[in-house]
Amino acid sequence: MKFAIISVGNELLKGDTVNTNATYIAKKLTELGHEVKRILVVPDVVDEIVEEVRKASQFYDFVILTGGLGATHDDVTNEAISKALKRELRVNKEVYDYLKSMSDNEFAVRKISSVPEGAEIIWNDVGAAPAYIVENIAVMPGVPEEMKNTFEKILKKFEKLDYFEDQVRVDGYEVRILEELNKVVSEFPDVQIGSYPKFGYVIVKFSGKNKDRVREAVERFRELLKKSGGQ
């Protein structure tokens, strides 16, 4: 399946908060053999969330969205999802009763428990706001521990596909391995090959659905490096 990840929050756009949620989600989906095609960050603005959600839900098989499910003025995700899908916001009685048992703040309880009509609730064991799934969109809290708690439950709904990964570390700079890298890329179009420069060395990652082809690509790259004296 092809996924888009949308992170909501002004704090992400200002650099006040590192977007660890998107990294975590992308890694988990990739390990299951799925493809993350887009990672977007949008502000706490209803119309901008609506625009990106509508586009992503049309272009990709599934959309994962985090952030904006609380009770403050800038928590507008539920309203945006409702508008994007043209579904009424409804107070979910189970969520309402659960939150009411913990808080007497009627405004906060009603806001958090109001989700798009027909949403499947995914309970949050470490926080207040639940996650939910509606159509081909999963919506989760932005607090990392709450996101992880709900995402692990959502992740079980997706099939595990064949996916294999290996990597080669090469000392020195990327320019030293360009010829060998380009050659193995052309010889193995069915293997995804990425080059990631670090300080003083390069990590070349090989991944794909066929384990034998991934291994062959790795061995071919090592062979080319050995011939050129690159490793």
Q: Which domains does the chain have, with CATH numbers?
A: 2-155 (3.40.980.10), 164-228 (3.30.70.2860)
Query: What is the per-residue pLDDT across 68-87, written as a single tens digit (0 to 9) for each?
Result: 999 999 999 999 999 999 99
At residue 228, the pLDDT reads 80
* Residue numbers of the chain with a pLDDT score lower than 50: none
Strands (E) across 67-119 are located at 89-91, 114-116
- Crossing angle of helices 46-59/77-85, nearest 10°? 50
Q: Are strands 192-197 and 201-208 parallel, antiparallel or unpaired?
A: antiparallel
Query: What is the per-residue pLDDT across 86-123, written as a single tens digit (0 to 9) for each?
Result: 999 999 999 999 999 999 999 999 999 999 999 999 99
At residue 231, the pLDDT reads 56
